[in-house]
Structure 1
């Protein structure tokens, strides 16, 4: 790899990057199976173009593991509730491990009952929700995943943060090379994007993204203390629903009760996830269903485009294209992320991939 300019993105082979992240985690004391799951989740986020939830988070994850806030070797347990539901206790471990196990449990339940649900308690940050729902759609399930997080979002009509960005993802299997995947924060932007991109790059943010301490719009990422709900009252309503399903159903509590990711490194976040899987075969022949989905996609793509658009895209289609591009050409990392990873490489005596 040629030496890039200091302010230029760097492209790293995806498998080498995944191996590097996994090695850093294991050198930091994280058990092998959890290091693998966290590394895979972070790198996949970057490959889909969601860098705010990718390897840029590794530094703060390591602070949480080293500080004791994240359990590096949790005893994650599953308690059956009935034929279609289970409770998963993450034991303060990484959210990636707990949510992935929960989706497996939900799919197993769905194979018997048609739909399976798992409520995850005592968990931590789990990255992108699409990581779990696309895993389910690959197995011909409709996957659903959501999580509450700490208070970063003002309620509609409010001036102080209360809700989390509380993301929701749904993935639907198709016969195409990509599933239909909705993966959205219920805020206009994820706070992580401001923290991991705008602040590090010291770039202005759009005036409708965030508010300052006084509850007024700001374009300065360093002044941003909360973000706005997407779509005003609609996103606010969705954020409330996620808080109920993830926080109150699991018993961990709502967003204001969740611990921070970027502070108090000796304390777990203790948040909740809601994971569900629908077995398509319980309702319809899978291939017939997928053929109907493909026909639906054809109809959407046949819609006449307006000026500035060449094609109607499906939710998740752009991210899939980005994933393939980066699988072939390497994962694009911003200079600030590379600097963070090189610091970790030096600290843990791990070679950064060339």
Structure 2
């Protein structure tokens, strides 16, 4: 672990951080396989620069496990529903375990049928959607993943939260060292960025991010009760589609039916995911497909830049660069996250990375 920088951030070796998170989870009664999957998902989020879905979530996860809201040893079941479709019951376990199992199933279905679609029910928070789509792309599939979450987003034209931030991700395999990955909330910003970032650091938020209890714009993260849909009616519409695929198709219920993450620690969230894989080889020779993708990217990169940009970047390229950097130099964590992890270290008697 590095000494804290002037801004309070600290770098910790990624392998040591992953081991620490696993050990905390196991000490809290989480089964080894699930502890490994959750730890890998959280640490990878931080390594990609998505700290709102990284190890800062470990504290609330442990409260959910300890309180009984998250099942620490679920029996995840996979049921084939047809030639190219399956369902996964998460048994109220961690979303990372359920969505990973769904991704495995989607890839296998795609290898058999060209396309695989998997619905997940009775699940919990699953971290970043890119964690699953990039796994599909590494198997030469175009990956798709989405999830509904609790009501944190006002509908377009409304003043009360109804939709979730309902993120969606796609990953496309390439010959480069990283896939093209779009991973986005269907809201202006993920609520977790306010909860785990701005509130912890006590910093103002942009006026177009969130609204207060009266439905009015606010710059105070502590007064934010809901965020706005991305692009107005466009994000609102996408959020509805994610809710349909994740909540209605799975039968688990839509965003207003999802349980909370940050309180009611004895209650499961009971949300749904939808994961898909498209086997490129079912349509094209994979090598030819990747060559055409590379040519496509080269043409994008050749476009003249403006407004201070050095180059045209691909979706996921910045995150891929951060992943490479933090794999070599350590995972950068904010002061409040380090403080939270140290408290968990003491409570569960797990040595903090040195």
Which range, TM-score by smaller chain?
Answer: over 0.9
Distance 1:238 1:13, change over 3 A: same
Correspondence for 2:145 = 145
Give how far 1:240 is off: 0.3
Correspondence for 2:334 = 334
Q: What do the CA deviations read for 1:81-137 (whole angstroms, capped 9, x no partner)?
A: 000000100000000000000010011111111000100000000000000000010
Give how far 1:4 is off: 2.5
Question: 5+ unaligned residues in a row in structure 1: which ranges?
Answer: none
Could you say what secondary structure the match of 1:82 adopts? Answer: coil
Q: Does 1:10 align with 2:10?
A: yes
Give how far 1:259 is off: 0.1
Q: What do the CA deviations read for 1:126-153 (whole angstroms, capped 9, x no partner)?
A: 0000000000101101000000000000
Q: Is the Cα–Cα contact under 8 Å of residues 117 and 275 in structure 1 kept in the other structure? A: yes
Q: Distance in 2 between matches of 1:5 and 1:55?
A: 19
Correspondence for 1:28 = 28
Correspondence for 2:324 = 324
Give how far 1:307 is off: 2.6
Correspondence for 2:270 = 270
Q: Is the Cα–Cα contact under 8 Å of residues 3 and 10 in structure 2 kept in the other structure? A: no
Correspondence for 2:344 = 344
- TM-score w.r.t. the length of structure 2 is 0.99
**Residue correspondences, number:** 354
Map 1:2-81 → 2, pairs under 5 A: 3-4=3-4, 8-81=8-81
Q: Which runs of 4+ in 1 moved over 4 A?
A: none
- TM-score w.r.t. the length of structure 1 is 0.99
Q: Is the Cα–Cα contact under 8 Å of residues 174 and 180 in structure 1 kept in the other structure? A: yes
Q: Distance in 1 between matches of 2:299 and 2:24?
A: 47
Q: Is the Cα–Cα contact under 8 Å of residues 6 and 335 in structure 1 kept in the other structure? A: no
Correspondence for 2:247 = 247
Could you say what secondary structure the match of 2:137 adopts? Answer: helix
Correspondence for 1:205 = 205
Q: Distance in 1 between matches of 2:41 and 2:216?
A: 35
Q: What do the CA deviations read for 1:4-63 (whole angstroms, capped 9, x no partner)?
A: 268510100000000000000000000000000000000000000000000000000000
Q: What do the CA deviations read for 1:160-206 (whole angstroms, capped 9, x no partner)?
A: 00000000000000001110000000000000000001000000000
Superposed CA RMSD in Å reads 0.8
Correspondence for 1:194 = 194
Correspondence for 2:85 = 85
Give how far 1:306 is off: 1.0
